[in-house]
Structures are given as C-alpha cells and as structure tokens.
Amino acid sequence: MASRAHAAIIEGSLRLPWRRFLFGTLVLSLALHVVVAYRSQGFYQCDEHYQVLEFLGTKVATTRITSLPWEYAARMRSWFLPALFLPTIRLSALAGVRDPFALAWVMRTFAALLSFTGLAAISRCLPLWLKDGATRRVTLLAIHFFYWVPVLSARTSSENLAQAFFLLGLAALLGARRGASAAAGLLFGLAFLARYQVAFLIAGACLWLWFNTRPRLPLAAGLGAGFVGALALGAVLDRWGYGEWVLPYWNYLRVNVLEHVANRYGTAPFWGYFALFASDLVPPLGLIWVITPLVALVRLPRHLLTSTLAPFVLVHIALAHKETRFLFPTLALSTVLLGVLVERELSTASSSSWFARAWPRLRTPVAAVVLAANVLGFCLFTFEPPRPQWSLLDALDTAAPRGFTLYAAHGFAPMYTCGGLEASFYEGTRAFRPYRSGQPLTATDARGLPAFYGWADTPARLADNPFAQKCTAVATEPWTARPAAQALLRLPPLSRLAPRVIAHVAYRCGN
C-alpha cells in the first residue's frame, strides 16, 4: 500500500503544469546545491585545486610561485578562473572572513550558484526538444538530481565552470532574443577559457547553427564578435597573471597533445571511457553518458545536441590520455539527449520495434534500478566531501585553534595529494608533513603547537596500525568509521566496494 501511495504521489507530481513543476524543481535544486557546497570540502581532482586556488593564492599572498605546479612555468593555463574567484576573496576579506577553509567554502558556493544558473537556463529550453510532458519532467529531474550533479557543481574545476558557461551560451542562442548571438559568443569564449577542450562542443553547436539557421552571417558575426571579446579578456588576464603576453591555449596544445606530455599521466585504449564510467560512477548510470551521444549519431544524426556532443566525445575517445572528469562538461546535455532519444523511439517506433514492444515491460524495472543506484550514490557520495579526510580537519581545527602539524602515513593525504605539491592556500598556521618511518611520536611540533598523526586504511583494518597502539584517536572520518557503515560494507554487493573505501583517523601522541 505504501509503495502504491508513493507511486501515486510521483505520478501526480509529474502531471503538474510545466511552469509550476519547473519552478519547484529549481527551488529544490538550488537548496541542494547550496547545502552540498557547504558539505563538499576539498577537491575531487588535483587540477581543481592547484590550477585555480593555488594560482589565485599567488595574488592574495597565500601561495609562493615556486610552489606552483609545472603548468605555471609552461604558461599553459588560463588565468580566467583565478580571476573569476578573486572578487569573492576580496569581498570575503572585507567581511572579515580570512580563514582559507571558509574562503574555499565561499568559492564553492559561488561555483555551485553559477553551475545551477547554467542548469536552470538549459532547463527552460527543454520544451524545445521534448514535447511529451512526462519525459520532459523526468529529464528535468535527472538534470538536477542525479547524485553527482550537486557534487560537481560545487567544484571550482574547469570542467564544471566550462559546462556552466557553455549551457548559458547555448540557452542564450535558443532564446532567440536581439543581441543573443553576441552574448552567446562571449559565454562560449568564457567556457573556452575555463577549459580549452570545450572548443569541440562550441564547434559542433556552431556548425549545426550555420547549416540550420537563417540568416547565417549576422549570427556568425555576433558569435565571432563575442568569442573574440572573451579571448581579448583572457589575454589581459593572462598578462596580469603571468606578467607577460602569452597564448596559454597554444602552449596547452603544444605541450599536452603535440609533445604528448599528457600521456605521461597514463594512457588507455579507445574503449577506456566505457570502463572508467562503468566503474567510477554507480552502475549502470555511468555508461549512459558515454553511450548516449554515440547512439544519437545513428538515431538522431541531425539533432543539435548530437552535433554538439558527438565531436567532443569522439575526440576524447581518440586521445590516449583519459580521465572520467574530461567528459563531465557533457553530462547535462547528454541527459537531455537521452530524453530526446527515448521520446523519439516511443513516438516513432513501429509496432514491430523491439523497443516499442519491450518498453512497457522494462519501464518499471529500469526505473527501479536507476532510482536505487541514484539513492545509493546520494548516500555514499553527495553529502560527503570528495576527499572525506578533509572533514576530519575541522575536528583538528577545533582541538588546536592556534594551529598544528599533521604528519601523514599509510596513504593519509590531507592536502598534498598531487605529486608531493604543498597546498599552500590552506596552510596558514597548519602544516602538513609526511611521517617518516621511525620518526619519534611527539605531542608538539617544532613550533610548540600540537602535533597529530594520520593513518588511512579500509574501515575493517583501520584500527590495526602502529599509531593506534601508542596514541589516542582525536578525530575520525565521519561515516566510514561507524559500526553500521562497516557492517553495511560487508554485505554483497557492497562488499565489492569495500576495498575501494578508505577511512581516515588522526591521533594525538605523547604526553
């Protein structure tokens, strides 16, 4: 009875007038984005921190240029993203907010709001592509409430912000208002400055518009003028950042592609993204975003979204160096394209089509599997920091408000998770050092401030470490250290995930 009542509530909500349903979804999505931005401490991938926050840190006197990654010397990163966040730092300082953790939260919130704005803009365009009310509403929910969406939106990463600016530009074009092409060109240019690979999304969309809109020349002129304006802004910002005139996008192409430097960080065969998305995102959700643009090439080759997404995905499949995050700028539009594909198959398929015949029987189990996978993703990832040990640092700040040194051992990487680089932006009175085998366990560091010792392992083996025998645990990672979480991870199929779940604990040693 309860399940039927729940289904009836969902079905009734899907029949709400579109404007009302859209407004309610956006309100809930906005609240979720803000909450997750607060909870989602740390960074998902190294570039998100070292190519943005540490670059920015050189302008606010928290980072030494000598501690920046090698990309700075290669002059291959745009200063657009550091400049984008600089006003938030200045305004926060005026308001008395100077703690780097608080400043990072402000920047995550700004990134989340910008990302939400892009999602909201493209959400308003859904009636242009999806005529069926139920399909449109389900697609809208998927855009905003797939479990990774608020997590990625809170990132200060190039992937997240490039998607936001691109979605805003595409929505501006689809709005068909006067001057929209120049605004869209500017937004496309900002997306390019945020992440150069977005050029393939921009090229795909612009080619489709060239062949499918009239008049062509005013549209091209507006897009070109806006894009060139963004590049001019980027050049000025790069001059401000590097102290000289440079072309970072050419340097990026030369170093990473022509000189194959990116391949030093690992290569994968052409099918590598299928394996990455099948494993890094809760199955089967991950594979959807790789497969959808490829299926659309066959089923909807002339659609705007196919022309936009397919070149981007195919180029990344062809490149040897692959990372899951490289396809993150396509997630929102791939979700919309999936909805378009489903609607097309249901509306045009003949009675003999396998999809038309199978869908009535598959609809409920497919929905159940997708919903269950998404709920699992929410429970495990959405409200936890992408690097969970960061939340542990809050407890250490409370225990030692004047500062501390944290010595890390056995994979405990509180800050410097990227090739031994220091996270200078976050240090202040905190210091993060590797623990050397045989190093004496002391209660204080050389400055006379408290010393802590960190250890990382699977939850089941976390207590079996040398610190645990001699020291007192003062902070543990939130959920993985709980008995209920450990018991859950012993059950199939979650037991397969257990070896990949790492918990962290910090100890205070000595007298």
Going by pLDDT thresholds of 50, 70 and 90, the confidence category of residue 10 is very low
Higher pLDDT, 155 or 275: 155
C-alpha dihedral over 471, 477, 480, 486, to 10 degrees?
Answer: 20
Lowest mean pLDDT among 55-59, 66-70, 73-77: 66-70
Say what the pLDDT of residue 362 is.
77
Tokens of 245: 């005139």
Q: Is the pLDDT of residue 371 over 90?
A: no
φ, ψ at 434 (rounded to 5°): -75, 145
Q: How far apart are CA 385 and CA 391, in angstroms?
A: 7
The segment with the largest mean pLDDT, out of 46-50, 161-165, 387-391, is 161-165
Say what the pLDDT of residue 500 is.
67
If one counts every other C-beta atom within 10 angstroms of the C-beta of residue 270, the result is 12
Q: In the predicted model, what is the mean pLDDT of residues 301-326?
A: 94
Q: Is the pLDDT of residue 213 over 50?
A: yes
Q: How far apart are CA 150 and CA 36, in angstroms?
A: 6
Local structure of 504: helix, strand or coil = strand
Q: How far apart are CA 471 and CA 442, in angstroms?
A: 10
Q: Is the pLDDT of residue 195 over 80?
A: yes
Q: In the predicted model, what is the mean pLDDT of residues 210-220?
A: 88
Say what the pLDDT of residue 456 is.
87
Q: Is the pLDDT of residue 53 over 60?
A: yes
Higher pLDDT, 431 or 231: 231
Going by pLDDT thresholds of 50, 70 and 90, the confidence category of residue 461 is confident
Going by pLDDT thresholds of 50, 70 and 90, the confidence category of residue 14 is low
Q: How far apart are CA 435 and CA 453, in angstroms?
A: 8
Considering Cα of 25, then 28, then 30, then 35, what sign does the dihedral take?
negative
DSSP string, 164-221: HHHHHHHHHHHHT-TTHHHHHHHHHHHHHHH-GGGHHHHHHHHHHHHHH-SSHHHHHH
Cis bond leading into 215, ω under 30°?
Answer: yes
Spatial neighbors of 380 by CB under 8 A, at least 6 apart, are 282
Going by pLDDT thresholds of 50, 70 and 90, the confidence category of residue 35 is very high
Say what the pLDDT of residue 15 is.
59
pTM for the structure as a whole? 0.88
Q: In the predicted model, what is the mean pLDDT of residues 18-26?
A: 94
Q: Is the pLDDT of residue 5 over 60?
A: no
157-182 burial, b if ≥16 CB within 10 A, otherwise e? bbbbbbbbbbbbbbbbbbeeeeebbb
Lowest mean pLDDT among 3-12, 75-84, 300-309, 437-446: 3-12
Going by pLDDT thresholds of 50, 70 and 90, the confidence category of residue 37 is very high
Q: How far apart are CA 483 and CA 307, in angstroms?
A: 50
Q: How far apart are CA 40 and CA 406, in angstroms?
A: 21
Q: What is the mean pLDDT of the chain?
A: 87
> Which residue from 298, 378, 281, 300 is spatially nearest to 339, judged by alpha carbons?
300
Q: Is the pLDDT of residue 345 over 90?
A: no
Q: Is the pLDDT of residue 498 over 80?
A: no
Going by pLDDT thresholds of 50, 70 and 90, the confidence category of residue 8 is very low
| Amino acid (1-letter code) at residue 72 | Y
Q: In the predicted model, what is the mean pLDDT of residues 119-125?
A: 96
Question: Per 3-state DSSP, what percentage of the chain is helix, strand, and coil (rounded to 5)?
Answer: 65, 5, 30
Would you list the domain boundaries of the chain? 2-382, 389-508
Say what the pLDDT of residue 57 is.
92
Lowest mean pLDDT among 40-49, 190-199, 279-288, 414-423: 414-423
Q: Is the pLDDT of residue 332 over 70?
A: yes
Q: How far apart are CA 71 and CA 32, in angstroms?
A: 34
For residue 276, how far is the Cα from the chain centroid?
A: 15
Q: Is the pLDDT of residue 447 over 80?
A: yes
Q: In the predicted model, what is the mean pLDDT of residues 468-481?
A: 77
Q: How far apart are CA 166 and CA 163, in angstroms?
A: 5
Q: Is the pLDDT of residue 1 over 50?
A: no
pLDDT tens digits for 388-440? Answer: 777 788 888 888 989 999 998 888 877 655 766 777 888 878 888 889 888 89
> Which residue from 226, 42, 16, 279 is spatially nearest to 136, judged by alpha carbons?
16
Going by pLDDT thresholds of 50, 70 and 90, the confidence category of residue 496 is low
